[in-house]
Amino acid sequence: MTKHDDKPEAITEEQKGGGTQEASADADEESPSLDVVYHEVKERLDVQLKQIDSLDGKTGSLLFMSSVVLGIGATAQALLLGLQGSLVVTLFFSIPIVFYSLAMFFALRSWVVRPYFRDPEPRPLRDYYLTRESQFTMRRLLAHFISCYEWNTTVIKKKVRELRFSMRFFLAEVITLATVLVIRPWFVS
């Protein structure tokens, strides 16, 4: 049985007249475990928030690289075509532009600030819990950290999914742009 399962039994014993000494002894026994759980959950939440920041950094890099690749491709296309324009090559060059647009769309969706939580806020924490017992405060904070962790997990999954779509479209952009630049001589008359 976990400590969570033991807690209702301690309350039941107290209600039956088992005495407050047994209840306080149970609370003292919970303290070391509560400290460990609290710090572990807090550490996982910190790691999760760093992961969100890392995903945002990767998204920013992808936005930058995708734009650079398209810019280099457009410059190369303009230099290679010169003043002679070919409708077929222009149409082929629109394919990487479509992939670029899709990569930008999903990267920006991933980068958009979604509400993820780094709570509790300092002022309410002070106002509500300053005079409470530390065990009570730690239990409340632990419950809040777990809620934040669960909420942030869904936000991270959405960010990762959209970043993966964006990365696939970026790779398609690079491949199609290279292909267009390589096959261009055969279509220029």
State the alpha helices, DSSP H only, in the chain.
Answer: 3-15, 20-81, 87-111, 122-129, 134-187
**Which range has the top average pLDDT, 105-119, 126-140, 158-172?**
158-172
Residue indicated by tokens 């070391």: 32
Query: Which residues lie below 8 Å from residue 37, measured CB to CB, with a gap of 6+?
Result: 142
Q: Looking at per-residue confidence, does 147 or 18 come out higher? A: 147
Mean pLDDT of the chain: 75
Residue indicated by tokens 């992961």: 51
Task: Check: CB of residue 171 under 8 Å from CB of residue 102.
Answer: no
Task: Check: CB of residue 163 under 8 Å from CB of residue 78.
Answer: no
Q: Which amino acid is at 49?
A: L
Residue indicated by tokens 């261009």: 184
- CA dihedral sign of residues 115, 118, 122, 127: positive
Instruction: With cut-offs at 50, 70 and 90, classify the pLDDT of residue 189.
Output: low
Q: Tell me the domain boundaries of the chain.
A: 29-187
pLDDT at 30 exceeding the cut of 60: no
In percent, the amount of the chain with pLDDT more than 70 equals 75
pLDDT digits (tens, 9 = 90+) for 150-184: 988 988 899 899 999 999 999 998 898 888 878 77
Q: Is 1 exposed, middle or buried (0-12, 13-18, 19+ CB in 10 A)?
A: exposed
Ramachandran category for residue 16: left, alpha or beta (phi over 0 → left; psi -120 to 50 → alpha): alpha
- CA dihedral sign of residues 59, 105, 116, 149: negative
